[in-house]
Structure 1
Amino acid sequence: MSLASYIGCNVQLQVNDSESEELIYIGACFAGDEELDSVRKYQFSTPFVYEVSSHWGIEITEYINEDTLNESKQKLLELCKIMDKYLQKGDYFELYSCWVGEERDKRVGKVILPIYGFNIDQLVLPEKTLVRFEK
């Protein structure tokens, strides 16, 4: 199984090549159309949904190894920088990570954060948590 991360937003985004070497990019990796449709329907409040690829999803908990934890923190900060370019003041984007095939499952939590200014070292984002980042 693979941990996938998805974003939902109200604007169309540029999708990157699946062979990108970037730390994080917007484009397909693990999920297909069925998973994107499910996460749109069951988790997000936005019309546009994308997989955020990095060859592993974003999860920030005490239960993952330190290297994966630090990489997830870097990915999240980079994602906020990317999305800042697309969003206007008052806009938001949503983030949701889960195991592929579990997009319809009940959420374990919901968090609302500013796109900048949160303390990444105090943040806990387990799988199946919806995070709304507001600009």
Structure 2
Amino acid sequence: MSLASYIGCNIELPINDDEYSDDSFYIGRCFAGDSELQNLKKYQFTNPYVYEVSSHWGIEISEYMNQETCAESKVKLLELCKRMNSYLEKGDYFELYSCWIGDETDKREGEITLQINNFDIEQIEIPEKTLVRFEK
């Protein structure tokens, strides 16, 4: 099984045309198919546009995970916020959700709201099945 991360937003984003990229982080498909994206749109997100954030492994920040993977997730999250900051207008937001492929319809285990440019990456925890709203 694979842990995948997804974003929901109110604007269309440029995505990679291919389903796989050698980049360590991009917006485009890696693990998910159409049914997974539709389930996320229906069960997890409040925004109409849903994208997989492909990075060969999902974004999860938790004290219970491998520290190397956790450190990689922090880098990915900061890059995601940087990119989304360039797309969003003041007052907009995007949502992030990570889960194992096949768990898209499961009940959320948590929700948090963060300011896109104002959080301490070393002080947050984002376990799987947590919906994170990033406000600009």
Q: Taking structure 1 as the reference length, what is the TM-score of the superposition?
A: 0.97
Name the residue aligned to 2:31: 30
- Note the C-alpha offset of 1:47: 0.3
Equivalent residue, structure 2, for 1:4: 4
Aligned to 1:119: 120
Q: Is the contact between residue 37 and residue 51 of structure 2 (CA under 8 Å) also seen in structure 1?
A: yes
* Aligned-residue CA RMSD (Å): 0.8
Letter paired with 1:28: R
User: In the TM superposition, what is the alpha-carbon distance from 1:18 to its structure 2 partner?
Assistant: 3.5
1:24, distance to aligned residue in structure 2 (A): 1.3
Runs of 4+, deviation exceeding 3 Å: none
Q: Which residue of 1 aligns with 2:85?
A: 84
Unaligned runs of 5+ residues in structure 1 are none
Letter in 2 for 1:82: R
Q: Percent of aligned pairs with the same residue?
A: 67
- Residues paired across the two proteins, number: 135
Q: Counterpart in 2 of 1:14?
A: 14
CA distance in 2, matches of 1:71, 1:129: 18
Q: What is the distance in 1 between the residues matched to 2:121 and 2:22? A: 24
| Residues 85-108 of structure 1: per-residue CA shift (max 9 Å, x gap) | 110000000000000000000000
Distance 2:34 2:19 in 1: 15
Match of 1:66 in 2: 67
Q: Tell me the TM-score normalised to structure 2 length.
A: 0.97
Distance across 2 between alignment mates of 1:24 and 1:81: 12
SS in 2 for 1:120: coil
Equivalent-residue separation in structure 1 for 2:100 and 2:76 (angstroms): 18
Unaligned runs of 5+ in 2: none
Contact 2:5–2:99 (CA under 8 A) maintained in structure 1: yes
